[in-house]
Structure 1
Amino acid sequence: MRALTWHGKHDVRVDTVDDPEILNPRDAIIKITSTAICGSDLHLYDGYIPTMQAGDILGHEFMGEVVEVGAKSTLQKGQRVVVPFTIACGSCYHCGKHQYSACDNGLPADNQDIGQEMYGQPMSGLFGYSHLTGGYAGGQAEYVRVPFSDVGPIIIPDGVEDEKVLFLSDILPTGWMAAENADIEPGDTVAVWGCGPVGLFAVQSAFLMGAERVIAIDHFPHRLELAKKFGAETINFEETATYEALLQMTGGIGPDAVIDAVGLEAHGFFVDNVIDQIKASTFLGTDRIHSIRQAIIACRKGGRVSMPAVYGGFVDKFPLGAFMEKGLTLKTGQTHVQHYMPALLNAIMENKIDTTFLISHTLGLEDAPQGYKMFHDNQNEVTKVVLKPGLALAAE
């Protein structure tokens, strides 16, 4: 089959690789109909995530048709499914608490030592996202093996186009969980750093959860315009001092809750961010954490901090004193996708949530390398790239 494979920083290629096979009775094989390039994939593209190996198949946002099932799979051939990016068994201690991204059995046994050493405990498995998360082949391919297929995939009704439900695989539940983690109360003012896909879904979700005001922060004009369509007020951090603007907009109090949807590759010409970039380029540091620093400083006393953004390693200049003295709370983590999928699918079917607005480009799988470059280099106009195996459409 054809699949997008990683070969190093800014080097991804569509190669011919072996077809996936059933390895466990709970497995299923999915023929991919749609898959997307996620902002988190750009961390792999930029070489920030460790334990990647040449030839690894990328992609963790995908859906398709069931073509083969193991003896203990609950899926049936011909069903259309969206697959969560987190791989979870459904029966361990954490799955019993609906903490699917903390599943104890999502990682193969020979991959658990890496997470144990880096984070104290191994995380769950993720599709197409390094050997730290299991080394599983991803879904930017013609076919993919889905472990624990009796737990993860959600069946999509006939007649519902892929574009309406594809983002159930990751970014819609991630944006929703980000807003949920902010403990939004009616009348709250919520500030969201980053108007990429997760940030925009967090904006939409915050309003649905009762926020009175949402303030979206970014520097890409088109993304800020998308946030405005949901009713958000906006700050362009290249034109306005964010902290001062937030204080002015909230009567000197600060936002009730803040959401960091930027993560380890924060942009902007700020002193702390420049230092972070120098450290990252000279291997003296890993993550650039300007956005979470600023969110903590801007949040009101007694407020809540939600961090759906991806961070990978150790950081310095973290404002721990401000965090403690202001009495803030922080919630974060990989998304428990399986927990949120059923309710969010219902919301889509009832037209309460729109997802299609985000798609800016649809390309064939063979055009995936161009899609990555487009998304990486032009994040103003390129908001989301969807790839379709077999689609003969060249990137422009």
Structure 2
Amino acid sequence: MALLEVEDLDVRFYTEGGVVQAVDDLSYTLDRGERLGIVGESGAGKTVTALAVLDLLDDPGRIEGGSIRFDGEEIVGASPERLRRLRGGEIGMVFQDPETALNPVYTVGEQVAEAVRVHTDREGEAAHDRAVALLDRVGIPDPATRATQYPHEFSGGMAQRVVVAMALAGDPDLLIADEPTTGLDVTIEAQLLDLLDDLAADDLAVQLVSHDLGVVAGFCDRVLVMYAGQAVERASVGDLFYHPRHPYTAGLLSAIPRIGDDRDRLATIPGTTPDLASPPPGCRFHPRCPYAEDACTKRDPPLVGVDSEVRRTSESGAGEAGNGKARRASESGADASDHQAACLAYVDDADFDGDLDFFVEVAGDEDDAEADS
């Protein structure tokens, strides 16, 4: 049994402009100790999915269908008391902007200690000592002194570490991180990812929401690609970066800048994401897809299993984001059923005649080949 099981999740926002289908029929699982990356453009439904897991959707957003099970327990429709114990207890969340996640009028030590008091049996000095220990765990120097300081006295990276400490206060089994590296310079970003990597080594499951494919490639085990509220591809990191099976994923990868790239302009995906109050019929990506056929305008493609064989080629570029963990994962192999894509090209009874002929080059392959020879 997976730690987190999301099945057929539907989230709607009821606005004056219409009903926005923010998340549509989404399913995925997350095991203990696993690292799942959820990627896609702004408006894809990544953050809404994360908020739905904790029932933190603001009005007019509602979960209209589906199931969310945590450790076998259904949490859609759970009581407010149960949800309070779950949030920050068994499931911790790191929000995107630490400046809004932290209260400017309380010291950071008091804010972490408050989370400790709510989710554990520690009170008073014991809660304070635990807060200092958590600040030390997330790499804040001189934690006892820094605990007495206020959020404005912390840099962006250090403030984000405080938010991580708060999320860990209840000793959670699952950590949901929503764009945790946004606004951080690359050095601080690397330090924060190293911290999350150390935490995940302690059997903590991590759901990482990000638009940065390089971050996902270096940190995650599996990737879920979302477009317009739907899952369009799901695979191991190695399969996704070496051999994407959905045109949208290939478009995202082609836009990654590479060291030594001789292109004058980065590749882009034409058009914009659709209005989810009136999404296009059929495949939601078809207005932007270079491979779209008439059938794509009429039928919504299901997420189906595809061949997971990794193809290494030098004909086109996805960038060096496929290095490291992506290469190790691909070389270890993967079950074909673990690689799924929502495209009519893989549906046997679909009236789709063309071929998807995109390829991926991963930087470093030539160096590896020379080293092996």
Give the alignment's TM-score, normalised by structure 2. Answer: 0.28
In terms of Rg, which structure is larger? 2
